Amino acid sequence: MKLKPKDVSTIVILNKNKQGAKTIQVRTRHINHLKYYGIGLLGILTLLVGTIIFLRNKSQQQEAEKQLLLSQIVSLKGKIPAELQKDGSKNNAQSYIQSIEAKLKSINDYLRKRGLKGFQTKSVGGDNNAAGAKLSDKEVYMAYNDYLSHLVNAVGFTPMGYPRISSMTSSFGYRSDPFDSGHAEFHPGIDFKGHRGDVAKCTANGRVVAAGWYGGYGKCVRVAHANGFETLYGHLSRITVEVGQTVAVGDKVGEVGSTGHSTGTHLHYEVRKDGKPINPVKFLTLNN
């Protein structure tokens, strides 16, 4: 369609010596709408800055929560209290042990809120049961100290936090099939927004049990952890670990991509318990 002269404006571009002028013709309505374009661009920039700030704060909060949990456990460990080394006062010893039990209960509550199986302290020997009555105060304390060491190790091997800090584009559960909107499918994990080459990090200590093409997941890494847990990182553009390799929390396992049954670049993340997928959101923060 031929445009009318009034629909077109001519922009003249001059160089410094005012020679070799160039002209550009644009629709007049675009010039009239420049302020709206500017407002729209400013809004997008504001949204991006706000998102970055939110994700940064979320990352700091999640890290603080992890440190809170671990610090509560580690704070219970250390040298035997002076009151247990001196007169062995039963009241002092029991008071100290009760303090440990209270903190263990607090840690246990954190874990239960995240859908994790809690732990029990009855077998430790500090709750006035028959076995505990036969132990000296020092032996009871050492039993707790060993138990705390075991607990620290268990926490380290339980998936916690984000495989990458970004917004989620798809949640756990049934959703419309992205390849066929007329059908529903079960999505066994959550998707994180990302660009090709972004780092995907392991969320718990463990051992790589699969690293390669895995059906619709494309290039995929699966890591086995303690207590029957397993994490899966799918649609990767590149895998950076090998089967049998030991990995720790925060280690890079691959790079974000769009391989396999995927409509765009993102990281697919799953948490499995005894082979069955469970909602990973329960493991992103201690407040869930």
Stretches in the chain below the pLDDT threshold 50: 1, 87-88, 126
What was the pLDDT predicted at 159? 83
- What are 154's two structure tokens? 């268990």
Backbone angles phi, psi at 164, to 5 degrees: -160, 145
Domain boundaries, the chain: 5-47, 76-156, 168-283
Helix, strand, coil percentages (3-state) for the chain, rounded to 5, are: 40, 25, 35
Give the largest Cα separation in the chain, rounded.
102
What was the pLDDT predicted at 197? 93
Its pTM surpasses 0.75: no
What was the pLDDT predicted at 206? 92
- What are 203's two structure tokens? 């969320």
- What are 276's two structure tokens? 């069955």
CATH superfamily of 168-283: Glucose Permease (Domain IIA) (2.70.70.10)
Q: With contact defined as beta carbons under 8 Å apart, do 276 and 242 qualify? A: no
Q: With contact defined as beta carbons under 8 Å apart, do 213 and 252 qualify? A: no
CA 44 to the chain's CA centroid: 26
